[in-house]
């Protein structure tokens, strides 16, 4: 995976004129691959990463399939998940196909198929469900927290006799150290 500074460099200048950028030959090749991946995924949102990797191998002469997948991953990291546009494309495609099925059934006068297509379209677009009210996050007040050290609250048995006294003894020994007097030392030059 490229260094973050390299990723930022490519992200900031991904669509700038490649001739005006100061890039090494290797960086210029990378930039062209990233552009090709982004453009390909926008033009064909349904394309799989395997098909993109094959495209990179054939178009750019990449010999390593791992490099192709690294380029795909880097492109998605730079420009956000392109996969969301693929989902939107599939949603659009399904809705359009259902509309076509509805129109075709209506054209042929087939009432049963028309109802089925309309039902599927309504379910897919969630028209059959009530819209939920947004959660009023600003009105939610967290419960006050009260810290206790009593094991009975958790349903645990009472500590053995002498346990609390032992804990207090340890606290006095290690935590409650007696105050000691100290004398400030004056440092002489070089000594």
Out of 28-37, 77-86, 127-136, 180-189, pick the least confident.
Answer: 77-86
Closest CA to 34 of 46, 45, 9: 9
Radius of gyration of the chain (CA): 34
In this predicted structure, what is the pLDDT of residue 190? 59
In this predicted structure, what is the pLDDT of residue 176? 62
In this predicted structure, what is the pLDDT of residue 3? 56
In this predicted structure, what is the pLDDT of residue 81? 58
In this predicted structure, what is the pLDDT of residue 162? 77
In this predicted structure, what is the pLDDT of residue 84? 63
In this predicted structure, what is the pLDDT of residue 57? 92
pLDDT average, residue stretch 126-144: 83
Q: Give the span between the Cα atoms of 98 and 120, in whole angstroms.
A: 7
Please tell me which of 20-29, 98-107, 168-177 the model is most confident about, judged by mean pLDDT: 98-107
Instruction: Convert the pLDDT of each residue in 97-111 to its tens digit.
Output: 888 988 998 898 888
Q: Give the span between the Cα atoms of 17 and 57, in whole angstroms.
A: 24
Reported pTM: 0.45
Look up tokens 């109802």; give the residue.
Answer: 115
- pLDDT at residue 72 is higher than 60: yes
Number of other CB atoms surrounding residue 29 within 10 Å: 14
Q: Give the span between the Cα atoms of 47 and 36, in whole angstroms.
A: 13
- pLDDT at residue 128 is higher than 60: yes
Angle at 179 between CA 173 and CA 183, to 5 degrees: 135
In this predicted structure, what is the pLDDT of residue 53? 92
Angle at 36 between CA 30 and CA 40, to 5 degrees: 150
Q: What is the DSSP letter of 157?
A: P
Out of 31-40, 72-81, 84-93, 103-112, pick the least confident.
Answer: 84-93
């Amino acid at each position: 995976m490229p260094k973050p500074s390299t990723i930022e460099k490519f992200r900031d200048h991904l669509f700038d004129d490649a001739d005006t950028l100061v890039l090494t030959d290797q960086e210029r090749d990378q930039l062209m691959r990233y552009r090709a991946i982004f453009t390909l995924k926008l033009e064909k949102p349904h394309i799989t990463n395997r098909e993109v990797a094959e495209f990179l191998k054939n178009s750019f002469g990449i010999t390593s399939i791992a490099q192709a997948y690294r380029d795909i991953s880097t492109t998605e990291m730079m420009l956000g998940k392109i996969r969301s546009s693929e989902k939107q494309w599939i949603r659009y495609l399904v809705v359009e196909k259902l509309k076509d099925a509805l129109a075709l059934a209506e054209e042929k006068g087939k009432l049963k198929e028309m109802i089925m297509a309309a039902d599927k379209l309504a379910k897919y677009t969630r028209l059959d469900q009530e819209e939920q009210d947004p959660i009023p996050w600003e009105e939610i007040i967290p419960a006050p927290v009260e810290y206790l050290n009593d094991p009975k609250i958790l349903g645990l048995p009472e500590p053995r006799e002498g346990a609390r006294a032992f804990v207090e003894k340890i606290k006095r020994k290690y935590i409650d150290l007696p105050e000691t007097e100290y004398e400030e030392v004056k440092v002489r030059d070089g000594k």
